[in-house]
Structure 1
Amino acid sequence: MIDHSMQRQSLMSARGLTKRFGGLAAVNDVSLDLWLGHIHAVIGPNGAGKSTLTNLLSGDLPPTSGTITLDGHNITGWTPEKISGHRLGRSYQKTNIFTTFSVWDNVRLAAQSRVQPSPFNPLGWFRSAAKMTAVNQRAERAIELAGLQNRRHAMAGATSHGEQRQLEIAMTLATEPLVLLLDEPLAGMGQAEAESMVQLLLRLKKDHAMMLVEHDIDAIFTLADHLTVMVNGQVIASDVPAVVRADAGVQAAYLGEETHETVGEEH
């Protein structure tokens, strides 16, 4: 359950976050806050450091310097598994699903990952029916939230690209995260699928703190409560979208060239 007394609390924060690869600063002195009920979008040209920032927050990369807190815990340097266990979920640029399993089985496996094994029964043999009921309930809620009720029995690999992106989010939701880091969830979608994903993200917004990395500028200005623009690993603007959109430096560096186009994946 979500405690809405946390509505004005920053659930995740980064301060002075830096990641260097040799002499290159892929992320350089970045600070941000993710709030319950808000979508914080991060945009910028390819190579700006957006995906590296996401990997730092999720623990997939250790920072060179700076600190990260999650729900009051200093998680700097924690492993991705430990961070995930503290209710952070993320999606990736490339869909990460089990294509030969059904939609239901994919989501149920994600839900089951949150069942803590007993030290006397590490493989989960003869696990209680009550625990299995809880797993199934989490999976069911996630499928409904993601709008996949009518596709639960479909083979994951046979679903559309947009449905696979929905499935990946459903798998993330099955772990019951408070914070969602979404890396280009609209990538490769047609207009109808993109509109469906935008509506899904708006439904999820009230119960999560969300960071959205995305190249679809129209979607960004529909979704974002706060907008951060990165160029060459640095933040050049961070404010409400209307203020950022009017910023001359942002227009020169990014928006003026890319407002009406969707850019490919960041490497």
Structure 2
Amino acid sequence: MSDLLLSAQHLTKRFGGLAAVNDVSVDLFRDRIHAVIGPNGAGKSTLTNLLSGDLPPTSGRIVLGGHDVAGRSPERISRLGLGRSYQKTNIFLPFTVWDNVRLASQASERHAAWNPLNWISAASSQRQVNQRCERALELAGLTARAHSVAGTTSHGEQRQLEIAMTLATEPSVLLLDEPLAGMGQAEAESMVALLLKLKADHAILLVEHDMDAVFTLADQLTVMVNGEVIASGAPESVRNDATVQAAYLGEDH
């Protein structure tokens, strides 16, 4: 059995009388990709926001690395080993690829904010920061693009860069919100290959609309509709579930 790295139990998030997420549980294991699918408004991104600390849950428990992190800030959760990418690419376009990843690496330093030595030393001289940066770029397949301005790279490379920035914080758990959005076939195939490579050392929660990619990648599949889980299990079992087909996948799947 793979290591259980994150366990969320009975998560609920209410906005007034609306339950955007209602009693959802999910376990994330190293060397496994857990995909969450569903129509727009199903609660997938809200679930991701709860796990990452971008939103506090109304109720429920999230255990990461032995710590109950429900309601903690994104910064504290990140330092416990969780990395997250967003639907919208979130990078510094005027900076080089290297500088984007180095900033993420610097931010993960436990005492980065208040250590006076960091104020007077050149960022390029911080050995551990640079080593994390080099490793993240290599994992993401961007070493050859390190000195390119981020704004001049392709859409697919920018999505890879966002993942590289996440990897620079050395997470054990990755939350990836639609990493294939807007990609052509070749870029999507490269991203699928990258995620398959990353899963060996990480637990991955994948929110994605590309069903071909989902069924290629997922070891576990959860389907959400109107904030609730309607099915969860092995991908083939979920694919053949009549309720899922009626609510989301349709006859072609």
Normalised to the residue count of structure 2, the TM-score between the two structures is 0.95
Determine the C-alpha separation between the residues in 1 that align with 2:42 and 2:114: 48
**1:104 alignment partner AA:** W
Deviation larger for 164-173 or 120-129: 120-129
Aligned to 2:234: 240
Q: Flag the 1:120–1:148 CA change in 2: closer, same or farther, 3 A.
A: closer
User: What is the deviation of 1:125?
Assistant: 2.9
Matched, 1:162 2:156: yes
Q: Which residue of 2 aligns with 1:94?
A: 88
The 10-residue stretch of structure 1 (160-169 or 7-16) with the greater mean CA deviation from structure 2 = 7-16
Structure 1 spans left out of the alignment, 5+ residues: 1-6, 260-267
What amino acid is the match of 2:39? Answer: P
**Which residue in 2 is equivalent to 1:175?**
169
Shift of 1:127: 4.4
How many angstroms apart in 1 are the aligned matches of 2:60 and 2:48? 14
Residues 18 and 65 of structure 1 are in contact (CA less than 8 Å); yes or no, is this contact kept in structure 2? yes
- Cα distance, 1:122 vs structure 2: 3.8
Determine helix, strand or coil for the equivalent of 2:144. Answer: helix
TM-score (norm 1): 0.91
Cα RMSD (Å) of the superposition?
Answer: 1.8
Query: Residue 130 and residue 95 in structure 1: after superposition, are their counterparts in 2 closer, same or farther (change >3 A)?
Result: closer
Displacement of 1:8 in angstroms is 2.6
> Deviation per CA, 1:151-194, whole angstroms, max 9, x where unpaired?
11110011111000000000000000000000000000010100
Distance change (3 Å), C-alpha of 1:80 and 1:257 = farther
Separation of aligned partners in 2, 1:16 and 1:183:
21
* Pairing partner for 2:138 from 144, 153, 171: 144
Q: 2:6 aligns with which of 6, 12, 20?
A: 12
Deviations 1:4-26 (A, max 9, x none): xxx63311111110001111100
2:106 and 2:112 in contact (8 A); partners too: no
What does residue 72 of structure 1 align with?
Answer: 66
Question: Is the alpha carbon distance of 1:123 and 1:258 closer, same or farther for their aligned partners in structure 2, counting shifts above 3 Å?
Answer: farther
2:230 counterpart of 1:230: no
Distance 1:130 1:193, change over 3 A: closer
List gaps (5 residues or longer) in structure 2.
none
CA drift at 1:115: 2.0
- Percent identity, aligned pairs only, is 72
